[in-house]
Structure 1
Amino acid sequence: MAAESSFDVVSEVNWQEVTNAIDQVQREIGTRFDFKGTKVAITLENKELTLIADDEGKLKQLKDVLDSKLIKRGIALKSVDYQKLESAFGGTVRQKAKFINGIAQEHAKKINQLIRDSKLKVRSQVIDEKVRVTAKSKDDLQDVMKLLNAADLPIPLQYNNYR
């Protein structure tokens, strides 16, 4: 009768919410006074953002607007990986941003190590780009969730398939 419970630790991005946030940013760019008459744009192609602005100051303002819209839409800022700033055509600056989707091997190893070091009676294993945690007690699984939430990991974590 000792049925086991489990859940998956994942790092996923809700692409519909990202699209909605970018649409909101584009609308705000069109209405904000400080962006009038400037070359400010944001595009999403192949799950990669491209931010273009006249100068670094305007680009920083654009990133602030984007960050606020992503937060309102429930997307963690840890999931956005901004690349280096580069010069673009016409005296503008451009910055690309990628979204972290899935848990990389080094992060999965770190999560497994944290779970093992906690001495909780659970098992964890890496499956593709997620970590499955299994235990006999649901309380132990909840303790693992608390442990991972308290850990300062460079990626956002979600928990799904809780059974």
Structure 2
Amino acid sequence: MPSFDIVSELDKHELTNAIDQANKEVTTRYDFKGTDSVFEVNGTTVTMKTESEFQLNQMYNILVEKANRRGIDIKCMEVKDPDIQLKTAKQVVEMKEGIDAGLAKKIIKKIKDSKIKVQAANQGDSIRVTGKKRDDLQEVMQMLRTQEDIELPLQFNNFRD
């Protein structure tokens, strides 16, 4: 019986590359000269450090641009409130991955409401979709790609025939 998995994964290597490129741009840009502006990555958490809120906004734009170029969907970015003090400003950007229980229920409900003859089951960080026909599975993939209200980027892998 054909099946596939719906997952939301973050390529950590591409994230590291995007951060390296962003740091390189920050060190060469004229409006960041003399500031100790830096991007730091720790697992899936990116910390932006600089001197002012305006520069934080500029750094966020750089981060989004570099992440987009590296194929990281910006839907997975969750921006926290900035911590602004006298001469320092810091902001954390969480990179979300994995499908939590609430989003999994929402996706499974959408699949069932579409009346496509498939079964969907939550498997922790992924959702397994099984059906008798490969065409039905591809129809589910296409339907999920067009959904606007799913707040995480979805990937489809482990396709078995």
TM range (shorter): over 0.9
Q: Is the 8 A contact 2:44 2:96 kept in 1?
A: no
Q: Which residue, 31, 35, 42 being the options, matches 1:34?
A: 31
Q: Which residue, 57, 72, 78 being the options, matches 1:60?
A: 57
Shift of 1:84: 1.1
* CA distance in structure 2 between the partners assigned to 1:20 and 1:102 by the alignment: 21
Unaligned runs of 5+ residues in structure 2 are none
Equivalent runs, 1:127-146 vs 2, <5 Å:
127-146=123-142
Q: Would you say 1:150 and 2:146 are equivalent positions?
A: yes
Q: Would you say 1:75 and 2:57 are equivalent positions?
A: no
TM-score by length of 2: 0.95
Q: Which residue, 114, 118, 129 being the options, matches 2:114?
A: 118
* CA distance in structure 2 between the partners assigned to 1:115 and 1:50 by the alignment: 37
Shift of 1:56: 1.4
* CA distance in structure 2 between the partners assigned to 1:116 and 1:63 by the alignment: 38
* CA distance in structure 2 between the partners assigned to 1:156 and 1:135 by the alignment: 23
State the secondary structure of the residue aligned to 2:17: helix
Runs of 4+ in 1 over 3 A off after TM superposition: none
* CA distance in structure 2 between the partners assigned to 1:47 and 1:70 by the alignment: 13
User: Partner amino acid for 1:92?
Assistant: T
Structure 2 match to 1:5? 2
Shift of 1:47: 2.5
User: Partner amino acid for 1:48?
Assistant: T
TM-score by length of 1: 0.94
Shift of 1:80: 1.1
* CA distance in structure 2 between the partners assigned to 1:146 and 1:155 by the alignment: 16
* Paired residues, number: 159
RMSD (Å) for aligned C-alpha atoms: 1.0
* CA distance in structure 2 between the partners assigned to 1:85 and 1:36 by the alignment: 21
Structure 2 match to 1:18? 15
State the secondary structure of the residue aligned to 1:50: strand
Unaligned runs of 5+ residues in structure 1 are none
Q: Is the 8 A contact 2:52 2:84 kept in 1?
A: no
User: Partner amino acid for 2:134?
Assistant: K
User: Partner amino acid for 1:56?
Assistant: E
